[in-house]
Structure 1
Amino acid sequence: MARKPKGRAISGWLVVDKPAGIGSTTVVNKVKWAFNAAKAGHAGTLDPAATGVLAVALGEATKTVPYITDALKCYRFRVTLGAATNTDDAEGEVIATSALRPTDAQIIAALAQFRGEIMQIPPQFSAVKIDGERAYALARDGEEFDIAARALWVESLEMTGRPDADHVDLEMVCGKGGYVRAIARDLGAALGCLGHVEHLRRTWSGPFDAEQGISLTTLDELAKTEALDAWLLPLEIGLADLPELPATAEGAARLRNGNPGMVMASDAGYGDEAWASYQGQAVAVGTYKAGELHPTRVFNR
């Protein structure tokens, strides 16, 4: 028999405004401890040097993580021009420099090639697996290896400021799997001046905004109190991009047992992925077919 997880059976989303200098996994562990939660996970890693939205799912909300991971995300970041680093950010060692500095017009023109469906090679110092090993571990050991390019959807990429000749501020909205550091690296290469990320902030991720995020200081202050529970957002927010199908009482009962259940009419089409609700709470996610939802994930609350 499987061992029951220790901790509270609490479900929902917590938006953390992550500070620089701490890893995403460490933040998740702090949240899990603060809520005394049995289960926790996050939707989209942030580099330790990055700040902003880290959406942490507790309990049954972890079943909605893929939908937040797949959602668009917004990053604001500053690129230092004239130098490349081995990590593609300010944390690494400078490996090449250039005296060339592009004009604003040249930067704006170069950004066009990084919009839409692009192919991006992740940084050498990244969590991508190479023959079962993390790329950053191989890079730290000085090993040489190649990382295959992968597709990335960039919804928008705009210059938002030019503090001086050595720096440019950018804002990017992109899909999952994007590396801001790679954008800075490749933009510098395209301009012939080299470049790396000086600092970056994720301002929103899917339905979650940095302005609603809790700081780690407040998290520590409110840990294991009812006041902290008030920061928790409903599990259902993680399903915001899917059609909602109100279930009948009988349908909800069947869905909870993993069987197809009757749902009310909606704008979902045959074969669409959707979620069923009963009395305002999510019951299951699945495929809509002829008046029924065929569940693939069931929420046990």
Structure 2
Amino acid sequence: MSAEAIIRPIRDEDVPACAALAWDAISAQVPVEFLTRDDGAVRTRRNEARMRRFLELDPGGCWTAEVDGRPVATALAMVREGVWGLSLFGVEPGFQAQGIGRRVLDAALAYGDGCRGAIICATLDARALRRYARAGFTLHPTLAGCGIVDRHAAPDRASLRSRETTWDDPALVAAARDLSRHVRGASHAGDLEGFALYEGTPIVLDGEGWAIRDGDGSPTVLAARDSEAARDLLWACLLGGTPGATLHVDWLTGQQPWAVDVVLQAGLPLSADGAVCVRGDLGPMTPYLPSGVYL
């Protein structure tokens, strides 16, 4: 019989095991076509770098459950300008449905005590959705688009106003600060360095919005002043990736009809995705495609 689970803060030496178990738990809940195509070494490096960044910036939000001397569950939470977010939550399959995940999540939630708002981007895992609902979150079901962009149906790239830029561009920093405050109630500017770990391409529409695009054209995050700017940014993502690549657009709640329109025009089939879970005082949450990592 295993020993009682010990819930404790993550330590640096836990990072490889915690990052690996979290990936295994999450990837089991995500359709294979939505998973990153990075090779294992790249994925491991990025996941561990992400966790160490959270240990540096949000040590109070980094928790694990230890059984018989090894981590079997993990959670990463962040606080930005009074908004709490859950970046990562996973439980090793053999230790699920034993109350361990609930205890780890409770510790991560406690990091947000006193925050005015909270966000979680959830997979379709029914047990996790139940935990979030019982923790007082409102669950907004989401769709995702996944496929190859029909470039014949897309606008001319030359007609788009959004532009690719660099991570230190003052216009990008200002947009990540001001436009993210506008839509979700908290800046993303302090996490641009974290986004850069994933080696995407930052895109800005000066004074109107910003986004980050993966190599295949998938948007990692997008926030804009209005739906017209958001459409421009999303098209800049979809058309800027590798032609013929399979990409995905996640976290399409009912508040994002502008994004659904673009996805359908691009010819991407829609499927059930999960839920954006919110609690407390946030921004309008639109036009907005949250980051699963930095929300």
TM-score band w.r.t. shorter chain: under 0.3
The structure with the greater share of residues assigned to strand is 1
> Normalized against structure 1, the TM-score is what?
0.24
> Normalized against structure 2, the TM-score is what?
0.24
